[in-house]
A and B are shown apart, each in its own frame.
Chain A
Amino acid sequence: GQQVMQIPQYQHVQEGEDFTTYCNSSTTLSNIQWYKQRPGGHPVFLIQLVKSGEVKKQKRLTFQFGEAKKNSSLHITATQTTDVGTYFCAGGSIIFGKGTRLHILP
């Protein structure tokens, strides 16, 4: 069945450093979504990518969808303490990666 792999599982960065998480699918995806879950909270939708090679930005966050539509990345520039949480990718609302937990060191 379809699998979505996400790396790394954990990431500790100093406040102000950049952060990237990667998502890889075993099959071609019609779309990919990114979610953020704060500690103790529920997943919150961030963005959806649909087109091959698509790049979208939300302030300090940059999302990319691979040309083959089998991989994606989320890059955060100059992390802040408010970025703490777990970031998930999901293929078509169905299959979620295991997430990358981001911890910010002050």
Chain B
Amino acid sequence: NAGVTQTPKFRVLKTGQSMTLLCAQDMNHEYMYWYRQDPGMGLRLIHYSVGEGTTAKGEVPDGYNVSRLKKQNFLLGLESAAPSQTSVYFCASSYSWTEGIFGSGTRLTVV
């Protein structure tokens, strides 16, 4: 089925470890986004991309890096995980600044 796929679905990291979250979409969308969701904070934009090879910072970019080497993939990296990065991470994609299609999320715990 077409859509947005996030891997992994769950992960536990130790403080200081690194990891990469993968987002893949098969809808040929130009725009892709990474959000984090914390209780009572809604969805906060981390980074976004408006096309292959381009990325931009969102509201809360510190501690994260991203890459969009291929149009269908958007990677979110944590170089040195901190407990404050414990959250649920959602990836989304869209044709333009319009209907966003979300993945099912990655639940990350940093201990």
Question: Measuring CB to CB, which residues of chain A are less than 8 angstroms from any residue of chain B?
Answer: 1, 6, 9, 30-31, 33, 35, 41-45, 48, 88, 90, 92-99
Q: Are B42 and A33 in contact (CB under 8 A)?
A: no
Q: Is B58 a contact of A94 with CB atoms below 8 Å? A: yes
State the CA gap A9–B42 with chains docked (Å): 10
User: When the two chains form the complex, which single residue of B31, B45, B98, B105 contacts A48, counting CB atoms closer than 8 Å?
Assistant: B98
**Is B41 a contact of A98 with CB atoms below 8 Å?**
yes
Q: Which of B42, B92, B103 contacts A93 (CB 8 A)?
A: B92
> What are 11 A-to-B residue pairs whose CB atoms are below 8 Å?
A1-B59, A31-B97, A33-B99, A42-B104, A43-B43, A45-B99, A93-B92, A93-B94, A93-B96, A93-B97, A95-B59
A48 touches B35 (CB 8 A): no
Residues of B within 8 A of A96 (CB): 35, 42-45
Shortest Cβ gap from A64 to chain B (Å): 18
For residues 51 through 94 of chain B, which have their beta carbon under 8 Å from a beta carbon of chain A?
Answer: 58-59, 90, 92, 94
Docked complex Cα distance between A94 and B97 (Å): 7
Q: Which B-chain residue is minimally distant from A98 (CB atoms)?
A: B42
Q: Is B90 within 8 A of A43, CB to CB?
A: yes
Q: Of A6, A45, A98, which is within 8 A of B101 by CB?
A: A45
